[in-house]
Amino acid sequence: MRTAKITRTTAETSIEVEIDLDGTGAYDNQTGIGFFDHMLDQLSRHALIDMRVRAKGDLHIDDHHTVEDTGIALGQALKQALGDKTGIRRYGSCHLAMDDAQVRCALDLSARPFLICNLGFRSGKIGSFDTDLVQEFFQALATHGGITLHVDCLHGHNAHHVAEAAFKSVARALREAVEPDPRRSDAIPSTKGAL
């Protein structure tokens, strides 16, 4: 079973994450941050990864710790659920259009964390949500999931659309990368023999 459950508690947040890589995109995400829940729902739905997130964070300060720590826990869960990565496709990419926004994601489940994130938001807020936190989330996910993650916005003016297109393109690329490759279902997809 390619599943994982992570519980992570600090002085700032308490996070529980459960995922199933071979799910149907069923989600139940509650972080106390409405827009972030909406983004996590997109990630689950379009990656076809079942996802349940419960986060209780210090939202009286701001959303930063809760978003970052959820990214850390989700990254840890992905890494754990992938195991030794036997039989996966490893790479994924997606050009995704959403109304005015076009976002491109290319990723490698490489165990070499690296983030390139060029979203170029034209506004600092989506409702009460800081647009900076989109990059913070992807940074935490890439670092703790062992992902080489590139996310670039080609164009788009509405911040809600740019953020949502980013999460959807990452989701769609992730779906491809975690999928079993039926041509080499017994092998780790690297000439090094390990990932």
Number of residues that bind Mn ion (CB under 5 A): 1
Report the residue number, 69 or 164, with the smaller CB distance to Mn ion: 164
Q: 38: which 2 tokens?
A: 């909406």
Report the residue number, 85 or 161, with the smaller CB distance to Mn ion: 161
Strands 50-57 and 27-30, bridge-based pairing: parallel
Interacting positions 164-193 with Mn ion (CB under 5 A): 164
Interacting positions 72-111 with Mn ion (CB under 5 A): none
Interacting positions 148-167 with Mn ion (CB under 5 A): 164
Q: How far is the CB of 35 from Mn ion (least distance, A)?
A: 8
* x/- track of binding to Mn ion for residues 112-151 (CB under 5 A): ----------------------------------------
Q: By CB neighbour count within 10 A (0-12 exposed, 13-18 middle, 19+ buried), where does 31 fall?
A: buried
Q: How far is the CB of 127 from Mn ion (least distance, A)?
A: 11
Interacting positions 20-59 with Mn ion (CB under 5 A): none
Report the residue number, 20 or 164, with the smaller CB distance to Mn ion: 164
Nearest to 172 by CA among 28, 67, 25: 25
Nearest to 109 by CA among 19, 176, 40, 184: 176
Report the residue number, 37 or 179, with the smaller CB distance to Mn ion: 37
Q: How far is the CB of 109 from Mn ion (least distance, A)?
A: 27
Report the residue number, 76 or 169, with the smaller CB distance to Mn ion: 169
Q: How far is the CB of 165 from Mn ion (least distance, A)?
A: 10
Phi and psi, residue 140, nearest 5°: -65, -40
Q: How far is the CB of 158 from Mn ion (least distance, A)?
A: 10
Q: How far is the CB of 27 from Mn ion (least distance, A)?
A: 14
Indicate the residue whose CB is closest to Mn ion: 164
Angle at 133 between CA 127 and CA 139, to 5 degrees: 155
Q: 6: which 2 tokens?
A: 């992570």
What end-to-end distance do the CA atoms of the chain give, in Å? 19
Q: Evaluate whether 178 touches 88 at the Cβ level (below 8 Å).
A: yes
Q: 67: which 2 tokens?
A: 């978003």
Q: What is the C-alpha to C-alpha distance for residues 92 and 95, in angstroms, rounded to an integer?
A: 11
Q: What is the CA radius of gyration of the chain?
A: 16
Give the residues lining the site for Mn ion (CB under 5 A). 164
